[in-house]
Every structure is written in structure tokens, then in C-alpha cells.
């Protein structure tokens, strides 16, 4: 199981067979351009030619794909927008219906409530006094109603 002597022999053989090959004639090999963008002359030559038919087809396909994505996105966002508008409308309608039911006394028993309203009280103060006494369920709707009717 000891591989050390074998590895040492193999290493020694590689070192003995190593030969460095350097040209002595001073002539350097010119590196070839890997792609058209690494050689500026090739890039200029390709830029002088008009775009190929394949490139034009690819651009057309990309444009058509973008249009289709735009249609799908437009439909999706219209659906989301419509859903949000409906949700907000339903919430506002529920708030209005519950406030009107409170104002009209729908679903409440006939109970007499006596409250003292301070002189020169603001709408907010009146709403709080009525809410604490149990005369109204929602002080915010009472304030809204009083503001809209000018009471």
C-alpha cells in the first residue's frame, strides 16, 4: 500500500525526460484570433457586410415574442387591476352599508340613551361621547356622515 517509492521513480523519470523547446531563430508565432471580436480587422470586415438573413429572422422572431409577451402581460395586469378595483369597491360598499345600518338603527333594539354633550364640542368630541355611550357603533362613520351633511 505504500505508493511513495513508485511515485518517486515516476517523478524522477519525468524530470530526466523533460526537454524545453525554445526556437532560437527569433521568429515569434503570431497568435490567431479566436473570434471576430478579438481581431479588430475581422470586426471591421464583418461590420462592412449587411446583416445576414438569419440575423434578420432572429430579430423578427424576437420582436414577435416580445409582442406576445406584452399581450400576455397586459392581460395579466389588467386582470390584477380589475381585481383590486373590485376588492376596494367591495370593502367601501361594506363600510358604507354597515355605517348606514348603524345610522338607521337596523338590527338594534329600541333603547333610550342619555348623553351630555359639552358646549362648543367638535364633531370628533361628539362622536367619541356617542360611541362611549353606545349610541353609535363606529365613531369614524359618524364623523364622516356629520362632515358630509354639514351637521
Report the distance separating Cα 130 and Cα 121, nearest Å. 12
The mean pLDDT values, 10 residues at a time, for the chain of 151 residues are 70 83 64 57 64 79 88 92 98 92 80 87 91 88 88 73
Residues 100 and 56 in one domain: yes
Report the distance separating Cα 58 and Cα 67, nearest Å. 14
Burial 9-38 (b: 16+ CB within 10 A, else e): eeeeeeeeeeeeeeeeeeeeeeeeeeeeee
Range of the domain at 120: 109-151
Residues 91 and 141 in one domain: no
pLDDT at 58: 86
Residues 43 and 72 in one domain: yes
Overall number of domains in the chain: 2
Residues 93 and 49 in one domain: yes
pLDDT at 36: 47
Amino acid at each position: 500500500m505504500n505508493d511513495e517509492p513508485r511515485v518517486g521513480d515516476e517523478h524522477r523519470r519525468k524530470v530526466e525526460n523533460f526537454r524545453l523547446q525554445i526556437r532560437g531563430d527569433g521568429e515569434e508565432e503570431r497568435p490567431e484570433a479566436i473570434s471576430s471580436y478579438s481581431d479588430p480587422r475581422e470586426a471591421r470586415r464583418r461590420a462592412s457586410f449587411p446583416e445576414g438573413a438569419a440575423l434578420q429572422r432572429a430579430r423578427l422572431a424576437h420582436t414577435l415574442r416580445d409582442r406576445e409577451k406584452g399581450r400576455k402581460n397586459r392581460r395579466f395586469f389588467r386582470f390584477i387591476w380589475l381585481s383590486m378595483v373590485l376588492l376596494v369597491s367591495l370593502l367601501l360598499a361594506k363600510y358604507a352599508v354597515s355605517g348606514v345600518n348603524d345610522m338607521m338603527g337596523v338590527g338594534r333594539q329600541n333603547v333610550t340613551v342619555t348623553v351630555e354633550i359639552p358646549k362648543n364640542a367638535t364633531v370628533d368630541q361628539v362622536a367619541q361621547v356617542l360611541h362611549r355611550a353606545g349610541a353609535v357603533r363606529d365613531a369614524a362613520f359618524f364623523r364622516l356622515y356629520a362632515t358630509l351633511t354639514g351637521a
